[in-house]
Amino acid sequence: MAKARTRRNKDARPEAWAKRVRVARARTGRGVFSERWFAVAEIVGEIEGAIIDDLEYSSRYCMDLGDSRCLEPDPPFRYMNHSCQPNCRFQWHDIQEAGRGPPRRRMFVLALERIAPDVELTIDYRWPAHMAIPCRCGTDACRAWIVAEDDLAAVLAAIGGRERAATTPSGSGASNAPVCQPG
């Protein structure tokens, strides 16, 4: 029995994180970079950290676990920068462990495209309107604000900018929950 458990744990961690990604200086502060190739939809790594079960909790890093809890990520993935045209995304899975108890919700980083070594790994933060800040990701798809696509109109309306959004602002659509939504 002990033997089977050892093998399962080993399978869950085929490589040390250090061989997959590294934290290094990026255009703005620190960023996470690939240490090897990743295929489309491959799991780049698991985001570990503290699970926060408090709707009042607010942090720019915290990731929505989809069940009113959020994950305050540890390094290295704590340092993943935003891009409006990201090469990675978050995805959570409910994973049954050791054959008993409820499944545990775990968060992973998945590659959205084929990624070469030494490329900065980015995700779309999808922040709600009240957390929006100007974006300098520099991609063709840049929305100018680090904010969820659905909340962009609300941000532009709030600043009374020259830009006109195609959709009507939703008003009080912003959530209190700290969020980097998986998707």
Binding site for Zn ion (CB under 5 A): 84, 135, 137, 142
In this structure, the number of other CB atoms found within 10 A of the CB of residue 158 comes to 14
CB of 89 vs Zn ion, minimal distance in Å: 15
Nearer to Zn ion, 137 or 157 (CB): 137
* 70-73 vs 49-52, strand pairing mode: antiparallel
CB of 54 vs Zn ion, minimal distance in Å: 30
Nearer to Zn ion, 84 or 132 (CB): 84
CB of 132 vs Zn ion, minimal distance in Å: 11
Alpha-carbon Rg for the chain, nearest whole angstrom, is: 18
Nearer to Zn ion, 94 or 150 (CB): 150
Pick the closest to residue 84 from 152, 20, 30 (CA basis): 152
Nearer to Zn ion, 94 or 149 (CB): 149
Q: Provide the H-helix boundaries in the chain.
A: 2-12, 152-159
CB of 129 vs Zn ion, minimal distance in Å: 16
Q: How far apart are CA 153 and CA 87, in angstroms?
A: 24
